[in-house]
Amino acid sequence: MLKVENLFFHYPGNPDNTLKNLSFSIGKGEIFGFLGPSGSGKSTTQKILYKLLGGYSGKILFEDIPLGQWGTGFYERIGVSFELPNHYIKLTAVENLRFFGSFYRKKAGSIADLLKQVGLAEEGDKPVSEYSKGMKMRLNFIRSLLHDPDVFFFDEPTTGLDPIYAGKIKQMIRELKDRGKTIFLTTHNMFDADQLCDRVALLHLGEIRAIDSPYNLKMKYGKPGVMVTKKNASLETFNFPMTGLGKNREFLKILNENEVVSIHSQEATLEEVFVKLTGDQLV
Partner 1 sequence: MRHMGIFLKWDTVLLYRNRLFHIALLIALIYTGIFFLLKPLGSLTRILVVLIFNDPVVTGYIFGGVIWMFDKNQHTLQAVSVLPANRRHYLLSKILILSLLAVMVSLVMAIATRGLDFNVFHLVISVFFSSFLFSAVGFAVAALSRGFNEFLLYSVPFFIISAIPMLYMFGIGEIMYFIPLPTTGCIEILRASFTSLNSWYLLIMYCQMFIWAVISWRVVVRVTQKRQV
Nearer to partner 1 by Cβ, of 143 and 168: the residue is: 143
Contact 268, 224 (CB under 8 A): yes
Burial class (CB in 10 A: 0-12, 13-18, 19+), 261: exposed
Query: Rounded to 5 degrees, what are φ and ψ at 30?
Result: -100, 145
Least Cβ distance, residue 164 to partner 1 (angstroms): 26
Contact between 278 and ligand ATP (CB under 6 A)?
no
Least Cβ distance, residue 231 to partner 1 (angstroms): 52
Burial class (CB in 10 A: 0-12, 13-18, 19+), 105: exposed
The number of CA neighbours under 13 Å toward the Cβ of 225 is 13
Least Cβ distance, residue 155 to ligand ATP (angstroms): 7
Contact between 252 and partner 1 (CB under 8 A)?
no
Taking CB under 6 A as the binding criterion, the range among 39-47, 120-128, 168-176, 230-238 that sits at the site for ligand ATP is 39-47
Contact between 89 and partner 1 (CB under 8 A)?
yes
**Could you say which of 9, 34, 56, 82 contacts partner 1 (CB under 8 A)?**
82
**Could you say which of 10, 23, 95, 212 contacts partner 1 (CB under 8 A)?**
95
> 235-241 and 225-231 as β-strands: parallel, antiparallel, unpaired?
antiparallel
Residues between 173 and 202 with contacts to ligand ATP, criterion CB under 6 A: 188
Q: CA 225 to CA 245: how far, in whole Å? A: 9
Contact between 111 and partner 1 (CB under 8 A)?
no
Contact between 14 and ligand ATP (CB under 6 A)?
yes
> 57-62 and 2-9 as β-strands: parallel, antiparallel, unpaired?
antiparallel
Least Cβ distance, residue 262 to ligand ATP (angstroms): 34
Q: Which amino acid is at 273?
A: V
Contact between 91 and partner 1 (CB under 8 A)?
yes
Contact between 69 and ligand ATP (CB under 6 A)?
no
Burial class (CB in 10 A: 0-12, 13-18, 19+), 267: exposed
Contact positions vs ligand ATP (CB under 6 A): 11, 14, 18, 36, 38-44, 83, 188
